Amino acid sequence: MTKPFVSVVIPARDAEQTLADCLDSVLAQTYPNFEVVVVNNVSSDATSEILELYAQKCSRVKVMQEAILGRGRARNIGIGIAKGSIILMTDADCTIPPNWLEIMTQPILEGREVVVQGKTARRGNSFWVSMQNNFNREFYQYSLSQRRYLNQINTKNLALKKSVLLEVGVFDSEFHNMEDFELKIRLQQSGHRIYFGKQSEVIHLQLISAGFAFWKRVDQGYWATEAFFKHKPYLETHPEPLTSAFSLKNAALFIPWLLGLLLRGQLKKFYFEAVIGFGWRVGIGLNLAHRFSKRIFPEVD
């Protein structure tokens, strides 16, 4: 029986260090019937040249250009030309196992699910890699709302029926970060569950440091707040782990909780949680300050 045609959509910006590894892993899939749509998003390095080489040597690879910066916008371009009945997503700084397409599409092809979310892990043994991997594992468990379903999506390792994506709408191109979180809210509003494909793990090659982690969380906190206000009526009646930090109770308990880690001698966890926790709350504060300034000075954006 012929496998249905599916599409892998990958946004790429200044990805010369990891792009070849990413594409090699995608093209090594055991699943036979697929295309790879890569959208070059304002790259200033050798990303364009690498994509041209792969497109020349492999007819599966389709290359598109997006001149306006934004991962959601780039993914939307790829989704728009994708021919597959299932859309799979990963990033240009990720590598995937050879059976990734088989594992991620199986629950959908069997008619059991319409959205499948796999796991993501970072490569390496450094402090920040180890702590981030532990954080991811804890968050997967925390966000499991039922035995097999998650309360999150991450576009590094995601599959969903294209018809469902078009039904709820593609990524909000105004979001510069957390566009997958905003899409997740709309999926859940439409009654779609997010199946946990725990057998599928993507390796994220991006380097990480304390400064990088802090500013990434600032950006995520800012755009998560944007998503919260966009969908405030829904989120006020549907508890959401990522927006729990918006409550005054959470803000009041954060410092005592950190001090508790310190007093118990959990120094590594204290340091990690302090960096990402303060970053997240700084991002929330910046968004709220921006909203307040627009109310006071509506003519200034």
Could you tell me if 147 and 256 lie in one domain?
no
Could you tell me if 163 and 22 lie in one domain?
yes
pLDDT at 148: 82
Could you tell me if 83 and 54 lie in one domain?
yes
Q: Within a domain: residue 301?
A: no
> Residue 299's pLDDT band (boundaries 50, 70, 90)?
low
Query: What span, in angstroms and rounded, lies between the C-alpha atoms of 127 and 115?
Result: 33
Could you tell me if 105 and 152 lie in one domain?
yes
Of 208, 241, 276, which one is at a domain's C-terminal end?
Answer: 208
Instruction: State how many domains the chain has.
Output: 2
- % of the chain with per-residue pLDDT over 90: 78
Of 190, 208, 226, which one is at a domain's C-terminal end?
Answer: 208
pLDDT at 282: 95
Domain that holds residue 37: 6-208
Highest mean pLDDT of the ranges 53-67, 201-215, 230-244, 247-261: 53-67
Query: What span, in angstroms and rounded, lies between the C-alpha atoms of 216 and 208?
Result: 10
Could you tell me if 157 and 231 lie in one domain?
no
Q: Within a domain: residue 22?
A: yes
Could you tell me if 111 and 201 lie in one domain?
yes
- Can you state the angle between helices 47-57 and 19-27, rounded to 10 degrees? 20
Query: What span, in angstroms and rounded, lies between the C-alpha atoms of 172 and 195?
Result: 22
Could you tell me if 150 and 216 lie in one domain?
no
Q: What is the mean pLDDT of residues 54-61?
A: 97
pLDDT at 146: 62
Could you tell me if 11 and 148 lie in one domain?
yes
Pairing of strands 194-204, 94-95: antiparallel
Could you tell me if 254 and 157 lie in one domain?
no
Query: In the chain, helix, strand, coil percent, each to 5?
Result: 50, 15, 30
DSSP state of 176: S
